[in-house]
């Protein structure tokens, strides 16, 4: 059973590395802000799982006589801090709230709190904070993923939307389950040597996650040339709602899932100008949210 878990873990982190590489190719063609955060999450998880698998299973197969590994503990803490910061920013970008005032505090404050918890864990004093810190860590991240999934109707992600919302639901459930497992368990696959069930469930989740990245990126990268131009705002739509050329460009990129900052960079205008164009689009089209605007456009682009 231990060898089976090892093979599943190897498949899991390999799939994450492959999906990260495909995601980078996709990001080069369409630099979505949320996709950048998504790729950071993928790479952080892949690096952590690779190092975790090497350390834990080398100890298991050698009888656990290798002693403590401070380098691994530091890597574990560093990756945890990265994930703790990126997850809220990723969800905020999906919802279009990443540029709001104080938005970064939702990511920075927990990083500081958990960093302090790690300091207590690694101090040569028996504080006993390791389990509570781990439970809070997973519960906090799971809450963010579930929050994003609950507000999925506010997201405008184009063809990525079903894949991202599925990931949010799966990630939220897995992180909450893991928090509960650490809190009341852990559930063991094997008591001797001790192998927690989360070691296997994490790998299964990684394969699930990688699949949700590999399929849409492969479709995007193999899409025939000219397909993107076919998705531009139709002339009929622009005439009916009296849109300017710049408003058409903003609307197209908005419905592709770009954030205000990404649109500003792509169109070489300021974020404030983008906000003004979006306000005018809402007013002219009689809507109040991005998803409503994109749904309205879809009526004119659907065959």
Query: What is the three-class DSSP state of 238?
Result: helix
128: confidence class by pLDDT, cuts 50, 70, 90: low
What is the percent of the chain where pLDDT is above 70? 88
CB 246 within 8 A of CB 264: no
Has residue 207 got a pLDDT over 90?
A: yes
Q: DSSP label at 234? A: P
Averaged pLDDT of the chain: 83
pLDDT of residue 97: 81
Q: What is the pLDDT of residues 210-230, one digit of tens each?
A: 999 999 999 888 875 544 443
What's the CA gap between 203 and 6, in Å, rounded?
9
Which pair of structure tokens corresponds to residue 129? 């904070």
> Where do we find the tokens 């231990």?
2
Q: How many CB atoms lie within 10 A of CB 92?
A: 23
pLDDT of residue 301: 65
- Rounded to 5°, the CA angle 86-89-94 comes to 125
CB 206 within 8 A of CB 49: yes
More confident of the two residues 154 and 83: 83
Determine the average pLDDT of the residues in 165-170. 96
pLDDT of residue 103: 80
pTM of the model: 0.76
Which pair of structure tokens corresponds to residue 185? 């368990």
Which of these ranges, 55-64, 105-114, 137-146, 263-272, has the smallest mean pLDDT? 55-64
Query: What is the three-class DSSP state of 190?
Result: strand
DSSP states of 140-159:
HHHHHHHHHHHTGGG---GG
Has residue 270 got a pLDDT over 50?
A: yes
Q: How would you classify the pairing of strands 194-196 and 188-191?
A: antiparallel
Q: What is the CA radius of gyration of the chain?
A: 22
**Cis, peptide link before residue 186, omega less than 30° from 0:** yes
Which pair of structure tokens corresponds to residue 281? 């689009």
């Amino acid at each position: 059973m231990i060898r089976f878990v090892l093979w599943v873990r190897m498949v899991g982190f390999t799939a994450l590395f492959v999906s990260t590489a495909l995601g980078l190719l996709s990001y080069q063609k369409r630099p979505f802000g949320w996709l950048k955060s998504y790729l950071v999450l993928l790479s952080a998880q892949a690096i952590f799982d690779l190092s975790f698998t090497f350390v834990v299973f080398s100890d298991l197969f050698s009888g656990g006589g290798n002693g403590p590994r401070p380098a691994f503990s530091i890597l574990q803490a560093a990756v945890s801090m990265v994930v703790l910061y990126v997850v809220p920013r990723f969800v905020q970008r999906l919802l279009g709230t990443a540029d709001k005032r104080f938005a970064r505090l939702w990511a920075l404050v927990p990083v500081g709190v958990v960093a302090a918890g790690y300091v207590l864990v690694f101090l040569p004093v028996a504080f006993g904070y390791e389990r509570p810190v781990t439970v809070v860590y997973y519960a906090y991240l799971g809450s963010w993923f579930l929050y994003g999934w609950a507000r999925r109707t506010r997201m405008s992600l184009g063809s990525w939307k079903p894949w991202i919302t599925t990931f949010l639901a799966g990630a939220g459930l897995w992180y909450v389950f893991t928090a509960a497992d650490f809190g009341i368990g852990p559930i063991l696959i094997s008591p001797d040597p001790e192998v927690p069930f989360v070691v296997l469930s994490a790998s299964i989740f990684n394969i699930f996650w990688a699949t949700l990245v590999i399929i849409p990126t492969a479709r995007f990268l193999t899409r025939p040339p000219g397909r993107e131009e076919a998705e531009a705002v139709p002339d009929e739509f622009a005439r009916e709602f009296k849109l300017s050329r710049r408003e058409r460009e903003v609307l197209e990129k908005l419905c592709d899932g770009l954030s205000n900052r990404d649109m500003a960079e792509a169109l070489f205008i300021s974020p404030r100008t983008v906000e003004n164009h979006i306000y005018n689009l809402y007013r002219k089209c009689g809507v109040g949210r991005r998803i409503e605007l994109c749904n309205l456009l879809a009526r004119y682009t659907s065959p």
